[in-house]
């Protein structure tokens, strides 16, 4: 097996939502009464995630993004999916700590807390070799993908910790935090140094969140959402576009599954939304025993 192949699990894969992670059937009411905070909810995967949580019975969904018109569209889709779910939004740039903090405070003021958070906002600029890259564009990937994720983590964590404690006392699960990573985090492709290293950093950041706050009840995951033909995804070289064949609803439903408590055992790890969750769960003992799906340097003795 090649060094590239060995970084991935040999599991059945999916391209669209399926029964085991369907918010309208298997996961119906799994988010009942919960408040879900979603950064980057104006389109694509973030928008689909907002709708999926509404379908799963969320009590409230709070949306953030930079476009108010797009946020209004997502809000309408949430209301159609579940008229009983409350939904509010803030125009917010995740690279601004002040704006993220204000959005989190507004969410808590309106809905009383946060039970799950999704750091979905991302950026992918033109692929250029390092010697040909634009410094500002290169760093923008880290500003959005890493700093943006950090800001969401930093300001939602106190409320996620409180939620985790409250739910644990009732024998239920909450305090879930999902960071948008990418299969690119595990690859080495010419011209993608900014995007792929920023996503590699996200996987490690996920591990640190778990290390720092696992004892507080936090369950953090870094996920590859699949190859989705979003506006961001289409910024990749045209030769890769045929691989963008996964529906946004796959990652959205996988996120609902993660936040249902069914995957709490896999906290602190990198997971792909394309992996079949039943086959993934069957590997639980091997994954935990061999400490798989985390960033490690392995060297021969």
Which positions are catalytic? 195, 199
Is the distance from CB of 117 to CB of 156 less than 8 angstroms? yes
CA distance 238 to 72: 31
Where are the extended beta strands (E) located within the chain?
Answer: 35-39, 60-65, 86-91, 116-119, 176-180, 219-224, 269-272
Tokens representing 273 are 């939304």
CA distance 145 to 287: 27
**CA dist 274 to 3, 247, 254, Å?**
20, 10, 8
Is the distance from CB of 255 to CB of 193 less than 8 angstroms? no
Compute CA 127 distance to the chain's CA centroid, rounded to the nearest angstrom.
23
Is the distance from CB of 264 to CB of 219 less than 8 angstroms? yes
**Full 3-state SS string of 148-209:** HHHHHHHHHHHHHHHHHHHHHHHCCCCCEEEEECCHHHHCCCCCCHHHHHHHHHHHHHHHHH
Contacts (Cβ under 8 Å, ≥6 apart) of 121: 39, 40, 46, 64, 65, 94, 144, 148, 149, 152, 180
Is the distance from CB of 207 to CB of 196 less than 8 angstroms? no
Q: Which residue has the tokens 């720092």?
A: 212
Tokens representing 60 are 């409230």
């Amino acid at each position: 097996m090649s060094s590239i192949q060995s970084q991935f699990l040999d599991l059945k894969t999916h391209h669209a939502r399926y029964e085991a992670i369907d918010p309208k059937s298997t996961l119906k009411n799994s988010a009942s009464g919960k408040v879900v905070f979603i950064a980057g909810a104006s389109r694509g995967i973030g928008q689909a995630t907002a709708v999926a949580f509404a379908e799963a019975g969320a009590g409230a969904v709070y949306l953030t993004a930079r476009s108010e018109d797009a946020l209004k569209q997502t809000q309408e889709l949430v209301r159609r999916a579940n008229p009983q779910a409350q939904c509010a939004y803030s125009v917010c740039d995740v690279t601004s700590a002040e704006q993220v903090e204000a959005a989190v405070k507004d969410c808590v003021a309106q809905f009383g807390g946060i039970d799950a958070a999704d750091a979905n906002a991302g950026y992918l600029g033109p692929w250029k070799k390092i010697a040909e890259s634009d410094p500002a564009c290169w760093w923008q990937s880290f500003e959005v993908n890493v700093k943006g994720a950090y800001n969401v983590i930093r300001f939602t964590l106190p409320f996620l910790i409180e939620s985790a404690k409250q739910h644990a006392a009732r024998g239920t699960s909450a305090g879930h935090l999902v960071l948008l990573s990418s299969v690119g985090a595990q690859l080495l492709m010419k011209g993608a140094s900014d995007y792929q290293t920023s996503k590699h950093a996200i996987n490690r950041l996920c591990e640190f969140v778990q290390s720092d706050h696992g004892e507080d009840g936090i369950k953090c995951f870094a996920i590859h959402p699949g190859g989705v033909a979003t506006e961001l995804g289409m910024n990749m070289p045209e030769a890769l576009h045929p691989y963008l064949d996964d529906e946004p609803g796959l990652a959205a439903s996988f996120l609902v599954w993660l936040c249902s408590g069914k995957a709490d055992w896999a906290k602190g790890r990198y997971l792909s939304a394309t992996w079949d969750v039943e086959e993934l769960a069957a590997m639980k003992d091997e994954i935990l025993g061999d400490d798989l799906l985390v960033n490690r340097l392995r060297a021969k003795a």
